[in-house]
Homo-oligomer: A and B are copies of this chain.
Amino acid sequence: MGKLISINEAIDIVLKETNILGTEKVRIINSLGRIIAQDIVSPFDMPPFRRSAMDGYAIKFDDLSFTRIFEIRDEIKAGEVKDIKYEKGKCVLIMTGAKVPEDFDTVVKFEDTEEIFENGERKIRILKEIKRFGNIVERGEDFKKGDVLIKKGSVIDSGYMAIIAYCGIDEVSVYKRPKVGIIATGDEIKKIGEKLREGEIYDCNSYSIYGLVLKYGGEPEILGIAKDDNKSLKSYIEKGLKKDILILSGGVSVGKYDFVVDVFNEIGIEMKFWKVAIKPGKPTFFGKKENCLIFGLPGNPVAVYINFENLVRPAILKMEGANNFERFKVSGILAEDIENKGDRDEFLRVVLKVENGENIVIPYKKQASGIFTSITETNGILFLRKNERIEKGQKVIVEIYK
C-alpha cells in the first residue's frame, strides 16, 4: 500500500523522476519570469568607457593646487566622443554618460560651481571641496567583458531584462514551460455554475492549483471533475497523461485509494509513493507514466496548497531548468508556544511581520487542513518536526511563500 516516507525522501524521489524540458528562444520582451537556458556573458566592459556620472565640468585635479576658476573650453554631450587635450586651467563641460577625455581625471558637478564672467570670458568657479576622480566611473567598474552576468538557470526578472538588453541581445534561450493538466475528483465536487445540492461543494482546488502553476511558470489547463467511478476517472486521466505533469485533487485518501490505484494500475501509472509523513497532506500520491509525472493530492484545500508548494513546485522548477529551489527565508521571534503532538512533521501557516522593530512570527490560530483562511491570511510556513515543541520568544526560521 506504499510506506509512509518523510518529506525530504518524497522531494528527492520527485526530483529524481523529473527531467529538464527542452529549450526555446523568446524575445526579450516576452522573457519576464522565464528561466534562462544560457549564460549571459558581457560583450563589453560596463561602463564601456570612463564616463561622467554627472552633468558638470571635467578638470585635471592637480589644477586645483593653483586655481578654483576654470575657463570652459569645449562641451561634450552624451554619445559624443571628443578627444580634448588638457590645457592648464581649462575645463570641459560634460554630460552624464559621456566619455571623459583621457587628460582629465575629475568631474565637478554643476551644483558645486557657479558661472562667472572674467575678462569677458565665460568661466566657472568651484564652490566646494572636490575629490580626485570624483564623479567618474572607471571603465569596467561594474563588470568586464567576458564576465558572466546571468547564470544559466536564473529567473529573468526586470533587472536581468535590463542586463540582457544592455548586452544587445534580443532573443534569449529559455527552458520550456511544463504543460500541467488539472483534474478534480469526487462525486460531491461540482463545477462553477452548476446547482449545489446538500453535501456538495464547488471545485476550488483546481483553481488554486491553476494559480500556483502560473505562479511558478507552468502552463495549466483545467481538465474537469472526475466522478468516483472507474470509467470517468480513467477517461480524465488518459487525457491528462499527454501533459508533462498531471495533478489530481481528492480521491487519494485511505477510503478511496483502492479504487484510484486500480485505475492507476490499469492505465500503467507506476506508483513512486503514496503517503508522506506530513501534516497537512499525508495521503499524497506520486507516480509516473513515460514522461508524465502524476501527483494525487488530498481533497482538503490547505493540504492541496501546501503539498503543491512542497512537491509540485520543485518538479515544475526542475523541468524549467531552475538552478535554485530555495524560498526566501526570514528569522523571527515566535509569538506563542507551539507543539506538534502528532506523529508527522507539520507545516504551520504563520504570519511574519515587523512589530516594534522585531520580526514576529504569529502561528495562524486555525491549522486544520480544511481552513482556507490559514492560507489566505498568512505569508509564511514554519516547519515543525513531530514531537517538537518551541516556546514563545524563541527564534524560528520561516519560509516566505507569498
Which A residues are within 8 Å of any B CB, using their own CB?
A: 28-29, 32, 46-49, 51, 53-55, 77-81, 93, 95-99, 110-111, 137, 141-143, 149-150, 157-170, 186-189, 192-193, 196-212, 214-215, 222, 228, 250, 253-256, 298-301, 305, 328-331, 352-354, 357-359, 366, 368-373, 375-376, 379, 395, 397, 400, 402
A206 to chain B, nearest CB (A): 7
- List of B residues within 8 angstroms of A212 by Cβ: 158
Give the number of copies in the complex: 2
Name which residue of chain B comes closest to A93, CB basis.
Answer: B255
A326 to chain B, nearest CB (A): 10
Name which residue of chain B comes closest to A298, CB basis.
Answer: B96
Name which residue of chain B comes closest to A356, CB basis.
Answer: B331
A319 to chain B, nearest CB (A): 19
Given the known inter-chain contacts A189-B79, A192-B168, A255-B96, please indicate yes or no for A204 contacting B395, CB distance below 8 A.
no
Name which residue of chain B comes closest to A142, CB basis.
Answer: B371
CA distance A269 to B165 in the complex (A): 30
Q: Are B222 and A29 in contact (CB under 8 A)?
A: yes
CA distance A358 to B397 in the complex (A): 9
List, sorted by A's number, 10 A–B pairs whose CB atoms are closer than 8 Å: A29-B207, A32-B215, A49-B198, A53-B370, A79-B186, A96-B298, A162-B305, A163-B372, A164-B207, A168-B193
Contact for A300 among B96, B254, B368, B376, CB less than 8 A: B96
A353 to chain B, nearest CB (A): 8
Q: Are B159 and A208 in contact (CB under 8 A)?
A: yes
A400 to chain B, nearest CB (A): 7
Q: Are B55 and A254 in contact (CB under 8 A)?
A: yes
CA distance A204 to B46 in the complex (A): 12
Given the known inter-chain contacts A193-B168, A204-B163, A207-B162, please indicate yes or no for A95 contacting B255, CB distance below 8 A.
yes
Q: Are A81 and B199 in contact (CB under 8 A)?
A: yes
Q: Are A369 and B53 in contact (CB under 8 A)?
A: yes
CA distance A214 to B163 in the complex (A): 17
Extra pairs beyond A81-B198, A162-B372 (11, CB < 8 Å): A77-B187, A96-B255, A98-B188, A141-B368, A159-B372, A161-B208, A162-B207, A162-B301, A163-B372, A165-B204, A166-B201
CA distance A199 to B250 in the complex (A): 62
A172 to chain B, nearest CB (A): 11
Contact for A255 among B28, B55, B222, B357, CB less than 8 A: B55
Q: Are A208 and B158 in contact (CB under 8 A)?
A: yes
* Of listed A158, A330, A353, residue having the most chain B CB within 10 A: A158
Given the known inter-chain contacts A137-B370, A205-B162, please indicate yes or no for A95 contacting B143, CB distance below 8 A.
no
Contact for A215 among B111, B158, B206, B222, CB less than 8 A: B158
A90 to chain B, nearest CB (A): 19
Q: Are A211 and B95 in contact (CB under 8 A)?
A: no
- List of B residues within 8 angstroms of A300 by Cβ: 53, 96
- List of B residues within 8 angstroms of A93 by Cβ: 255
Q: Are A256 and B95 in contact (CB under 8 A)?
A: yes
Given the known inter-chain contacts A162-B207, A254-B111, A366-B142, please indicate yes or no for A168 contacting B196, CB distance below 8 A.
yes
Name which residue of chain B comes closest to A227, CB basis.
Answer: B79
A335 to chain B, nearest CB (A): 14
Contact for A211 among B158, B206, B211, CB less than 8 A: B158
Q: Are A162 and B208 in contact (CB under 8 A)?
A: yes
Given the known inter-chain contacts A186-B78, A196-B168, please indicate yes or no for A354 contacting B397, CB distance below 8 A.
yes
A48 to chain B, nearest CB (A): 6
